[in-house]
């Protein structure tokens, strides 16, 4: 996830692309979905392991029930598009941008994260005919059969837990079932893949964090973590781990992506790598584009700005996009990462976590309405219906069950 409204507007799902002349001139997407592929997509249970959509829940005038568009407000997930794309549910993210490692920093982060968890629950409660909170693998199937969308919760960046691991129990009680220790910068628990190492893996507190996640039944998510953290998580976790939104380094060499050795290491331990739609190619902006974007000034705040202000800012970005088009990855790049990972570890250890509303989205794969294209491509690549079902949800739910089964048997005393 690359946070702030500015990041959402300027990221790979950037606002107003589809509305601009530059994008209107693009040829139509090549990936037509056959009736048989669409039927399969509707038949299998589908989930995405990293939905950053909760950042919009407090946005004035924005509703999860309305159909939005990338072109108008930069968002990629809502209930109508979940239906259009056949997405049955997923992990809705409690994300907190990294700040100071101090008592005051921890306090502010804790309050922010708990408030975000409340916003998720309030969204579900306000639309209980369409959404339901999920806590265990069986909930996903049950909620789907009731014609509702299931909402698991995850934490991206455990910084809000400060140095008090009893807060992990608090978040677990609120419904969190997956957590990552770190984000773009190192914190009190671990090193980030995009920062200079200070711990060379987990910190001593981070090792306790890992043990507590195992004890409670929270899936350990190593996306954003350094290679050393990945290695240590695989070695020390009593249960399989997940990378909720990562990619193949063999496709694009970026610190956020995983090399083939670590893809295999996670899979050999029973884990799952969920492929994202970020860090697929070099998308560095030209100096002219950067200058033009800087000249726009700051974006309106996502929670205090009005929809009119946000849309007006989007139109300014659209004008910059026409004059200085951004370099963007494509659906072909996403599929290259997905198919490479499948080749390396097999269909029993791969999932989908495209980082929607957190910087994900590429040309011809702009929002969740495009998800059936993935099923069509998997079938064209020779994967079976059972493989497709495993990739879309079965693998992740299997790990989730293993994690919860271990916790049920462990019965160790809580962290102090």
pLDDT digits (tens, 9 = 90+) for 311-354: 788 888 888 988 998 899 999 999 999 999 999 999 999 999 99
Residue 410 pLDDT? 87
Low-confidence ranges of the chain (pLDDT < 50): 2-29
Q: pLDDT for 7-50, tens place per residue?
A: 433 333 333 333 332 333 343 445 789 999 999 999 999 999 99
Residue 315 pLDDT? 85
Q: What CATH superfamily classification does 5-25+32-410 receive?
A: Metal-dependent hydrolases (3.20.20.140)
Tell me, letter by letter, the H, E, C secondary structure of the chain.
CCCCHHHHHHCCCCCCCCCCHHHHCCCCCCCCCCHHHHHHHHHCCCEEEEECHHHHCCCCCCCCCCCCCHHHHCCCCCHHHHHHHCCCEEEEEEECCCCCCCHHHHHHHHHHHHHHHHHHHHHHHHCCCCEEECCCHHHHHHHHHCCCEEEEEEEECCHHHCCCCHHHHHHHHHCEEEEECCCCCCCCCECECCCCCCCCCECHHHHHHHHHHHHHCCEEECCCECHHHHHHHHHHCCCCCEEEEECECCCCCCCCCECHHHHHHHHHCCCEEEECCCCCCCCCCCHHHHHHHHHCCCCCCCCCCCHHHHHHHHHHHHHHHHHCCCCCCEHHHHHHHHHHHHHHHCHHHEEECCCECCCCCEECECCHHHCHHHHHHHHHCCCCHHHHHHHHHHHHHHHHHHHHHHHHHHCCCCCC
Residue 275 pLDDT? 98
Residue 1 pLDDT? 59
Residue 14 pLDDT? 35
Q: Tell me the whole-structure pTM to 2 decimals.
A: 0.90
Residue 333 pLDDT? 98
């Amino acid at each position: 996830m690359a946070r702030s409204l500015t990041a959402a507007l300027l990221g790979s799902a950037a606002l107003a692309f589809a509305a601009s002349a530059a994008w209107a001139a693009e040829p139509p997407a090549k990936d037509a979905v056959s009736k048989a592929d669409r039927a399969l997509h509707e038949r299998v249970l589908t989930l995405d392991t990293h939905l950053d959509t909760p950042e919009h829940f407090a946005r004035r005038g924005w509703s999860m029930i309305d159909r939005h568009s990338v072109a108008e407000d930069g968002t990629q997930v809502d209930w109508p598009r979940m239906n259009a794309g056949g997405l049955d549910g997923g992990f809705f993210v409690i994300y907190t941008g990294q700040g100071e490692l101090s008592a005051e920093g921890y306090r502010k982060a804790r309050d922010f994260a708990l408030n975000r968890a409340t916003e998720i629950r309030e969204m579900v409660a306000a639309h209980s005919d369409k959404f339901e909170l999920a806590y265990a693998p069986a909930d996903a199937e049950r909620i789907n059969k009731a014609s509702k969308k299931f909402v698991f919760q995850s934490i991206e960046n455990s910084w809000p837990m400060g140095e008090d691991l009893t807060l992990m129990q608090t978040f677990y009680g609120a419904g969190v079932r997956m957590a990552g220790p770190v984000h773009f910068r190192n914190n009190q628990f671990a090193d980030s893949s995009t920062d200079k190492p200070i711990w060379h893996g987990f910190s001593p507190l981070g090792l306790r964090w890992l043990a507590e996640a195992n004890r409670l039944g929270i899936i350990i998510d190593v996306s954003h973590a350094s290679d050393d953290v990945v290695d240590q998580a695989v070695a020390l976790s009593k249960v399989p781990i997940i990378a909720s939104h990562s990619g193949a380094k063999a496709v694009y060499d970026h610190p956020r992506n995983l090399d083939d050795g670590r893809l295999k290491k996670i899979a050999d331990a029973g884990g799952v790598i969920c492929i994202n739609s970020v860090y697929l190619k070099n998308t560095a902006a030209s100096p002219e584009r950067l200058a033009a974007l800087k000249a726009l000034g700051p974006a309106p705040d996502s929670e205090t700005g009005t929809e009119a202000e946000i849309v007006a800012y989007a139109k300014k970005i659209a004008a910059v996009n026409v004059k200085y088009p951004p370099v963007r990855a494509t659906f072909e790049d996403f599929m290259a990462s997905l198919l490479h990972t499948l080749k390396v570890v097999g269909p029993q250890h791969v999932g989908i976590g495209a980082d929607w509303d957190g910087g994900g989205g590429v040309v011809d794969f702009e929002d969740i309405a495009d998800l059936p294209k993935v099923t069509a491509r998997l079938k064209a690549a020779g994967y079976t219906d059972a493989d497709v079902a495993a990739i879309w949800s079965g693998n992740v739910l299997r790990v989730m069950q293993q994690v919860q089964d271990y916790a049920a048997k462990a019965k160790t005393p809580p962290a102090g």
